[in-house]
């Protein structure tokens, strides 16, 4: 008995995400072939196995994950796709790793425009190319209308940690200088001002960027002098400094007048009653570096476009372990605490 080839099931040209796109059947394949693969195709993804099989270079492996739920999905300076790639690249890089491979897990809301999804996927592909990483494995789920908000993206990442580099938030030592690589609050205020009802004509754009190139140069030059790095995302520079102080059981003192804030961001923060130190950044670094090497590190960071506004904002002290203290513009000192609650939901 012979069987005629199956007549291809007529696939409707949907303009929006359907529940069936997530069902593992023929429409899942169509979504894969029409929206994802044209942008993300590579030797690993093309195999369509349930897992990517990778030959990692020797060295310790860094592994990280982040889910992105930013709202709105498209914001001044970027979209959820490039944010998801850059954010996970940065989480690997601040651990001293060379980011290599990412996974991408999508949750799509029924009714999402396929054109929007494709724009997001294209941005992911471009961000991955810029950062020198490959998206090698993925997953797509679809949930009903009202069961998620447009699109959530998880990216997990693998990198290989450089030989001889030991970065950890527990490594701060009294005397270390604290470098901030640029202006604070850009990403968070770009999101806030683009949200419905809060859009006061502003030119604030997100600082969303991959930092791994700049970090690689820093670690090439000063593999031992750099004690810790963090990208101050949710909770802003305030949360990052508190985590560093607390993990290393040291105090941190910073000087308000050194902290760079763009005028538009400062204005928006004042209008909304938000401390720019609490606002998320997506392309900034906080670095703890041995005092003797701080000037050299600063000069190197400033040589990058992403770090041209870098400054030394303070230092690590023996006093008040676990606590961050700021000398204000008026000469007084105030404690920079973790924000208790929620000023800026769904910022990343």
H/E segment holding residue 104? strand 97-109
Among 43, 50, 197, 330, binds a second copy (CB under 8 A): 50
Residues 61-90 that bind a second copy (CB under 8 A): 61-69, 71
- Residue nearer to a second copy on the CB measure, 74 or 296: 74
Site membership for a second copy, residue 113 (CB under 8 A): no
* Site string (265-304) toward a second copy, x via CB under 8 A: -------------x-x------------------------
Do the Cβ atoms of 331 and 323 come closer than 8 Å?
no
Judging by DSSP bridges, how do beta strands 74-75 and 97-109 pair with one another?
unpaired
Among 22, 77, 276, 307, binds a second copy (CB under 8 A): 22
- Residue nearer to a second copy on the CB measure, 294 or 324: 324
Give the number of other CB atoms < 10 A from CB of residue 155.
27
Among 42, 119, 168, 293, binds a second copy (CB under 8 A): 168
> How far apart, in whole angstroms, are the C-alpha atoms of residue 257 and residue 255?
6
- Residue nearer to a second copy on the CB measure, 145 or 257: 145
Q: Closest approach of Cβ 264 to a second copy, in Å?
A: 23
Task: Tell me which stretch binds a second copy (CB under 8 A): 72-80, 117-125, 291-299, 315-323.
Answer: 315-323
> How far apart, in whole angstroms, are the C-alpha atoms of residue 276 and residue 344?
12
Q: Closest approach of Cβ 107 to a second copy, in Å?
A: 6
Please give the size of the binding site for a second copy, defined by CB under 8 A. 97
Helix axes 80-93, 212-221, angle to 10 degrees: 10
- Residue nearer to a second copy on the CB measure, 194 or 281: 281
Task: Tell me which stretch binds a second copy (CB under 8 A): 19-27, 207-215, 260-268, 308-316.
Answer: 19-27
Q: Closest approach of Cβ 292 to a second copy, in Å?
A: 25
Q: State both tokens at 226.
A: 């750099």
Q: Closest approach of Cβ 291 to a second copy, in Å?
A: 22
Site membership for a second copy, residue 198 (CB under 8 A): no
Residues 119-158 that bind a second copy (CB under 8 A): 136-139, 141-144, 146-149, 152, 154, 156-158
> How far apart, in whole angstroms, are the C-alpha atoms of residue 307 and residue 300?
9
Q: In sequence order, what are the residues at sequence separation of 6 or more whose Cβ sits closer than 8 angstroms to the Cβ of residue 307? A: 181, 182, 214, 285, 301
Helix (H, G, I), strand (E, B) or coil at 114: helix
- Residue nearer to a second copy on the CB measure, 27 or 264: 27
Site membership for a second copy, residue 306 (CB under 8 A): no
Q: Closest approach of Cβ 158 to a second copy, in Å?
A: 6
Q: Closest approach of Cβ 201 to a second copy, in Å?
A: 26
Site membership for a second copy, residue 14 (CB under 8 A): no
Half-sphere exposure of 195 (CA within 13 A, CB side): 13
Distance of CA 69 to the CA centre of its chain: 12
Q: Closest approach of Cβ 314 to a second copy, in Å?
A: 15
Distance spanning both ends of the chain, measured CA to CA: 58
Residues 200-219 that bind a second copy (CB under 8 A): none
Helix (H, G, I), strand (E, B) or coil at 209: coil
Q: In sequence order, what are the residues at sequence separation of 6 or more whose Cβ sits closer than 8 angstroms to the Cβ of residue 324? A: 238, 241, 242, 245, 251, 252, 253, 254, 335, 336, 337
Do the Cβ atoms of 59 and 143 come closer than 8 Å?
no
Q: In sequence order, what are the residues at sequence separation of 6 or more whose Cβ sits closer than 8 angstroms to the Cβ of residue 175? A: 290, 291, 315, 316
Residues 216-255 that bind a second copy (CB under 8 A): 230-231, 233-235, 239, 243, 247
Task: Tell me which stretch binds a second copy (CB under 8 A): 48-56, 120-128, 199-207, 302-310.
Answer: 48-56
Do the Cβ atoms of 30 and 11 come closer than 8 Å?
yes
Q: State both tokens at 201.
A: 């004509």
């Amino acid at each position: 008995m012979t069987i005629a080839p199956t007549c291809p099931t007529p696939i409707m040209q949907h303009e929006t995400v359907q529940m069936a796109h997530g069902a593992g059947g023929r429409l899942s394949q169509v979504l894969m072939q029409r929206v994802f693969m044209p942008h993300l195709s590579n030797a690993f993804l093309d195999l369509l196995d349930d897992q990517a099989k990778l030959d990692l270079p020797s060295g310790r492996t860094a592994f990280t994950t982040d889910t992105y739920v930013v709202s709105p999905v498209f914001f001044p300076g970027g979209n959820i796709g490039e944010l998801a790639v850059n954010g996970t690249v940065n989480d690997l890089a601040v651990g001293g790793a060379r980011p290599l491979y990412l996974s991408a897990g999508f949750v799509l809301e029924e009714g999402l425009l396929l054109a929007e999804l494709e724009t997001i996927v294209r941005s992911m592909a471009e961000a991955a190319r810029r950062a020198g990483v490959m998206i090698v494995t993925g997953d797509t789920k679809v949930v009903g209308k009202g069961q998620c908000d447009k699109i959530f993206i998880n990216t997990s990442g693998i990198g290989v940690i450089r030989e001889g580099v030991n970065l950890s938030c527990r490594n701060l030592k009294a005397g270390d200088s604290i470098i901030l690589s640029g202006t604070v609050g850009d990403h968070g205020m770009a999101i806030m001002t683009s949200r419905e009802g809060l859009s006061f004509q502003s030119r604030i754009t997100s600082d969303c960027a991959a930092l791994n190139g700049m970090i690689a140069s820093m670690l090439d030059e000063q593999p031992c002098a750099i004690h810790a790095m963090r990208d101050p995302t949710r909770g802003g520079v305030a949360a990052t400094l508190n985590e560093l102080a607390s993990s290393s059981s040291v105090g941190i003192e910073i000087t308000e007048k050194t902290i760079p804030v763009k005028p538009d961001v400062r204005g928006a923060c004042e209008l909304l009653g938000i401390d720019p130190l609490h606002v998320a950044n997506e392309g900034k670094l906080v670095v703890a570096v041995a005092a003797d090497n701080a000037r050299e590190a600063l000069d190197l960071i400033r040589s990058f476009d992403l770090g041209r506004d870098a400054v030394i904002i303070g230092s690590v002290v023996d006093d008040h372990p676990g606590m961050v203290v700021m000398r204000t513009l008026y000469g007084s000192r105030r404690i920079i605490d973790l924000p208790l609650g929620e000023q800026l939901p769904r910022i990343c």
